[in-house]
Amino acid sequence: MTNQIELLFTLDEGYLKPLKVALFSIQLNNPKQAFRVWLVHERISATSLANIQAFCDHLGFAFCPIKVDGSQWESAPTVARYPKEMYFRLLAGEILPKELTKVLYLDPDILVINSLQELWETDVTDYLLAACTHAGLLDLATPLNKVRLDLDHVYYNSGVMLLNLEQARAKIKWEDISQVIEKHAAYLVLPDQDILNYLYGKYALLVDEEKWNYDARMYAKYLARSLNKRDIHWVMKHTAILHFCGKPKPWSKKHDNRFTPLYLSYQNMVEAFDVEKS
């Protein structure tokens, strides 16, 4: 167990159950890899944190919760689907310990079904971050986002990001973020993701979405785009991160696509695991 992978999650109490599913899938499919989990939050209870600590202990993961003051984000646009905690990842360089040089940020609505090692070892020395775009069969979103946000690059999804924390500390400033919020709040559709793209997308390295940030809604589009080469067998062998973007979420009874049974199988394993260790 060498070359520990540093994982970052920023969430509220409502996403602790999906977090457990994500962590369980990571351990199951990276059994010999060491991980440390950084959980940045504002108001998760001590009882809930103790529960996650015990869960990580059983997985063999180090666990480091960090409580932050989210008052500076009071003016930031938020809705139920996009709570204040989503902004914390933007200031990861400021929040995390200075000795940490990189971290892999993950949304909690993911499954990891293969090794994360290759993504972790991606060279981001000359970049602020590595991320993916969700372009679809025809890339219609990127031209719209380029006009909406005046971008000269693809529109990156912020749900999976390998962050170069040294560059983040040099480039990402709260003053710049707050100015964007103040001036353009009405135009921010996916607030923190829009800010990330508007201010910092030019410093990003594009990596393969079908390996590292596979939108679970888009199987048919990925299959067509690959001329039927990247079928479900390819996904299970080569995709590392399945991302359940949008709504409904896979733990909801309304979710029903090709990957719903896979997610529910992991969820069932976590519930059995929790009962066994309690």
Domains of the chain: 5-277 (3.90.550.10)
Confidence of residue 148 (pLDDT cuts 50, 70, 90): low
Say which residue, 117 or 152, is predicted with more confidence: 117
Question: Could you read off the pLDDT of 213-223 as tens digits, one per residue?
Answer: 999 999 999 99
pLDDT at 140 over 50: no
Say which residue, 134 or 27, is predicted with more confidence: 27
pLDDT at site 136: 58
In the chain the beta strands, taken as DSSP E runs, fall at 5-10, 35-41, 62-67, 102-106, 110-112, 129-133, 156-164, 204-206, 214-215, 241-243
Between helices 191-200 and 141-149, what is the axis angle to 10°? 70
Rounded to an integer, the average pLDDT of 94-100 is 96
Least confident window among 20-24, 32-36, 115-119, 179-183: 179-183
Say which residue, 3 or 241, is predicted with more confidence: 241
pLDDT at 145 over 50: yes
Contacts of 165 (CB under 8 A, 6+ apart): 92, 93, 96, 100, 101, 102, 103
pLDDT at site 64: 98
pLDDT at site 78: 59
pLDDT at 114 over 90: yes
**% of the chain residues with pLDDT over 70:** 87
Residue 195, both tokens: 């800010």
Least confident window among 27-36, 106-115, 179-188, 256-265: 179-188
Rounded to an integer, the average pLDDT of 233-246 is 97
Residue 169, both tokens: 């500390």
pLDDT at site 1: 41
Pairing of strands 35-41, 156-164: unpaired
Question: Could you read off the pLDDT of 191-215 as tens digits, one per residue?
Answer: 788 889 989 999 999 999 999 999 9
pLDDT at site 137: 43
pLDDT at site 7: 98
Confidence of residue 33 (pLDDT cuts 50, 70, 90): very high
